[in-house]
Chains A and B, each alone.
Chain A
Amino acid sequence: AVQLVESGGGLVQPKESLKISCAASGFTFSNAAMYWVRQAPGKGLEWVARIRTKPNNYATYYADSVKGRFTISRDDSKSMVYLQMDNLKTEDTAMYYCTAGGGYPEYWGQGVMVTVSS
């Protein structure tokens, strides 16, 4: 069965950094684009970042709200995807979902909570 398991969330102060991870299994990870999607408490879904596959040069894309502060990366040998979050702001507080698929997010993890507060 497909599994996406996020980890590394927690409480951090504004301007601090945090790296969250996602372990994938049950599908051919190296063939899948990987995404991060977040959801602030009581709000809708917000796409955060996408990383493509090796044949597509691991191209990355970011929402304007995180560009220059967040970095998505992947390790195909470990079936892992990461989101390095720097200079965190209170408005980054959200549940962060790891998702995977071809041209669209097909599989979703259960999410990891990131809280940015002083």
Chain B
Amino acid sequence: NIVMTQSPKSMSISVGDRVTMNCKASQNVGNNIAWYQQKPGQSPKLLIYYASNRYTGVPDRFTGGGYGTDFTLTINSVQAEDAAFYYCQRIYNSPNTFGAGTKLELK
């Protein structure tokens, strides 16, 4: 089965900084990756699908990239409301494995 490895586990960033987090698949998944944001006490929210497509209503400071086994989520000019957990997920084909998540904290 495919394993999704996210890095780093956590990061502490200042408002206005640019941040990039990573997701590595144990085998080639093409562009079949989604990214989700989850804040405490809330359900996850879809940010990016098929590696680089921004979901409806997602601010354009969120950008997804990558293909095959290596993927990135970049947030340009981080805002205070971006403090959250971020998860990648293999989509389209099952199993639809999630990564363990990256915690983004604001300084």
Contact = CB atoms under 8 A, between A and B. Distances in A.
Contacts of A37: 44, 98
A44 B1 contact: no
Contact of A111 (B43, B55, B89): B43
Interface residues of B, number: 25
Contact of B98 (A46, A109, A111): A46
Contact of A105 (B46, B50, B85): B46
Chain B residues touching A, majority SS? loop
Contacts of B16: none
B64 interface: no
Interface in B13-31: none
Interface string A81-103: 00000000000000001000001
A44 B34 contact: no
Contacts of B32: 103
Nearest to B38: A45
Nearest to B34: A104
A108 B98 contact: no
Contacts of B85: 44
B95 interface: yes
B38 A104 contact: no
A109 to B, nearest CB: 7
Contacts of B36: 45
B49 interface: yes
14 contacts: A37-B44, A44-B98, A44-B100, A45-B38, A45-B87, A45-B98, A45-B101, A47-B96, A61-B94, A64-B95, A97-B43, A103-B50, A108-B43, A108-B44
Interface of B: 1, 32, 34, 36, 38, 43-46, 49-50, 55, 85, 87, 89, 91-92, 94-101
Given A61-B96, A104-B49, 5 more contacts: A44-B98, A103-B32, A104-B89, A105-B96, A106-B46
Interface of A: 35, 37, 44-47, 50, 61, 63-64, 97, 103-106, 108-111
